[in-house]
Amino acid sequence: MYACKNELEVVNPESETVPLIYAILDPSIEQQYIKVQKSYITESSPEDYINNPEYIFYNPSEVEVYLEKYYNNNFIKKIIPTIDTINTSGSNVKQQPIYIIGKSDIISSGEDNKYISLKLYVKDLKTGKIATGNTKLLDNFKPDKLITNPGTYGFASSDSKEISWYSIENGVVYNPIYRTIYTEYDNNDNFLRFDSVDFNLGHYESKTSDGLEKMRAKFNTESYFLNLSNQISINNEVKRKVVNLKIIIAVAQKDFLNYIDINSPSNDLNQEKPVYTNITNGLGLFTNRFTFSIYKELDNETLNEIKNGNLTKGLRFY
């Protein structure tokens, strides 16, 4: 949920083109990104075209991208994204146009998330065809008081630990993560860098989308320290110091879960998997999530275990 790869197979550009749209809005962060690419309805081979950005990405002059905001079903405004470019990942780096809107474009002071809905339009200016998507924002989410109350947080005082919460309306999948943030110094105490390690507890699905369902993620606390030892390399030229712990819980809707389930790789070579989309006249995903996060200080018992415990003492935390 916290990161989702978007891959596109490109084929004969003379075939019918439909937009492939990917956007997960999150009103808890400052910037939102919308990706719009080309997909083709064809039986031709992609080999001759896959390395040509012209056949993968729309030029911004070829499409019109905008959103409409509604509050309690009443039209509020039209939102025009700004346009930037990013480098794609992989062996063949390409410049991909990306459409950006801000948090303030989505929600204003005094508004309640759950009454906000957004409609996305992508118009192909050559053909006049319009692809659309709709999403209703999730309400604000907070876990139990053990996390939100002031005070330190720890993993060393017991053999097991849990995070618990009540589900929110339309929030179906929950992904809790512990992010340990630390600094690195050389042996002369010169600062080198900030770094972090995620301890991802996985996805938890509610039984319904009605909300108010008691949910929990329980784990063995030794696995927290084992995760540190597995993800941080031993380096005798480096000393480390814990800064704090960031607790993250990302909440997403059913359509996000459907997209992940259907588009994830399959081990069955004979299975022809369906393509999930919630885009009308296009392909892809337009949805939203809400990301709760809070910073906590680790308690002394946990810090001592990181410094001196059998699993992590070789990492040179002090």
pLDDT tens, residue by residue, 151-203: 899 999 999 999 999 999 999 999 999 999 999 999 999 999 999 999 999 99
Does 236 map to a domain?
A: yes
**Ranges in the chain, pLDDT < 70:** 1-15, 41-54, 89-93, 146, 264-274
DSSP state letter for 31: E
Does 274 map to a domain?
A: no
Quote the pLDDT of residue 16.
75
Instruction: Judge residue 92's burial from the number of C-beta atoms within 10 Å of its C-beta, 0-12 exposed, 13-18 middle, 19 or more buried.
Output: exposed
Domain ends where: 137, 171, 190?
137
Yes or no: say if 131 and 280 are a contact pair by the CB < 8 Å rule. Answer: yes
The total domain count for the chain is: 2
Domain ends where: 137, 172, 207?
137
Quote the pLDDT of residue 143.
87
Question: Are 299 and 172 within one domain?
Answer: yes
Does 131 map to a domain?
A: yes
Please state, in angstroms and rounded to a whole number, the distance separating the CA atoms of residues 248 and 179.
8
Question: Are 100 and 197 within one domain?
Answer: no
Please state, in angstroms and rounded to a whole number, the distance separating the CA atoms of residues 90 and 240.
32
Question: Are 79 and 191 within one domain?
Answer: no
Question: Are 309 and 246 within one domain?
Answer: yes
Question: Are 191 and 306 within one domain?
Answer: yes
The CATH number of whichever domain residue 78 belongs to comes to: 2.60.40.10
DSSP state letter for 55: H
Give tens-digit pLDDT for 22-31: 999 998 999 9
Per DSSP (E only), the strands in the chain are 16-25, 31-41, 63-71, 74-79, 82-87, 95-102, 116-124, 130-136, 160-166, 173-186, 191-200, 204-205, 214-220, 238-252, 283-296
Domain ends where: 121, 137, 153?
137
Q: Which domain holds residue 44?
A: 16-137
Please state, in angstroms and rounded to a whole number, the distance separating the CA atoms of residues 66 and 26.
17
Question: Are 307 and 205 within one domain?
Answer: yes
Quote the pLDDT of residue 273.
54
